[in-house]
Amino acid sequence: MNPVEKAKEGVVSTAYSIHKEGLVFETWGNVSCRPTDDRIVITPSGIPYEQLKFVDMVVVNIKGEVEEGRWKPSTELPLHRAVYEARTDIRAIVHTHSICATAFAVSRQDIPVVVEDQAQVVGGPVKIVEYAQSGSEELAFNAVKALGKDGLAVLLANHGVLSVGSDLPSALQRCRIIERNAQIVLWSKLLGSPFLLDPEEVARLRNCFLNNYGQKNNV
Ligand SMILES: [Zn+2]
């Protein structure tokens, strides 16, 4: 199977996961993958997740022109394109509207690091992106700026989560962990003020994850 066809399978499977796990609702949220330098595979606009199939994936070139597919691409294509253009290390993007993380986005507060999994997989707080309308070039510009050279996830103000990675499983894992961490922060605020992990400890945990955790190289 060629890289584009393989990417279509990965994007569909990731889209099913975010829907099944309640990280997105109805037809909102989107997923993409960049299997080669000049091709992006992205979910179509406004098709219910339950109906999504391999053949519904949209293939666009780096300029955003549709090369393959029967549907319009996600309206967040400008955001995906801008991130891929700015960061050659990124090969996959998952955008969710999960509830607890979005509560932080609505409050325009970063999600701090309180447990090891966010430290390990995100490597720091999830920072808030300056507000712009969804689907706009302005939102794409603001998100790229907030991600910087090595950011792995940001919160789109009054909107949701944008997670990136070197592949789809790592971008998906980040979305899950961000939502879990956001829930823990919210619950801990009911008990008092959560103790945050300090930046040195976060860096140590991230480094340990990249070099020592599990059976393979992490990203
Ligand atoms: Zn959205």
List, for residues 34-56, the tens digit of each pLDDT value: 999 999 999 999 999 999 999 99
Packing angle, helices 77-86 and 137-147, rounded to 10: 40
- The tally of domains found in the chain comes to 1
Confidence (pTM): 0.96
Residue 185: predicted pLDDT: 98
Q: What percent of the chain has pLDDT over 70?
A: 99
Active site residue 76: yes
CA of 28 to the centre of ligand 1 (A): 6
pLDDT in tens, 195-219: 999 999 999 999 999 998 877 777 7
Which pLDDT does position 126 carry in this prediction?
Answer: 98
- Which entry of 65, 68, 76, 116 is annotated as an active-site residue? 76
User: Residue 151: what residue type?
Assistant: G
Question: Would you say residue 91 lies in a domain?
Answer: yes
Centroid of ligand 1 to alpha carbon of 207 (angstroms): 31
In a domain? residue 192: yes
Q: What was the pLDDT predicted at 215?
A: 74
Q: Is residue 218 part of a domain?
A: no
* pLDDT average, residue stretch 67-78: 96
CA distance 177 to 174: 5
In-domain check, residue 157: yes
Confidence of residue 62 (pLDDT cuts 50, 70, 90): confident
Rounded to the nearest angstrom, the gap between the alpha carbon of residue 46 and the centroid of all alpha carbons in its chain is 18
**pLDDT tens figures, 112-154:** 999 999 999 999 999 999 999 999 999 999 999 999 999 999 9
Enumerate the H helices of the chain as residue ranges.
3-20, 77-86, 99-107, 116-121, 137-147, 168-191, 199-212
Can you give the CATH number for the domain in which 203 is found? 3.40.225.10
Calculate how far, in angstroms, residue 138's C-alpha sits from the geometric centre of ligand 1. 14
Q: For tokens 């879990």, name the residue.
A: 180
Range of the domain at 183: 3-212
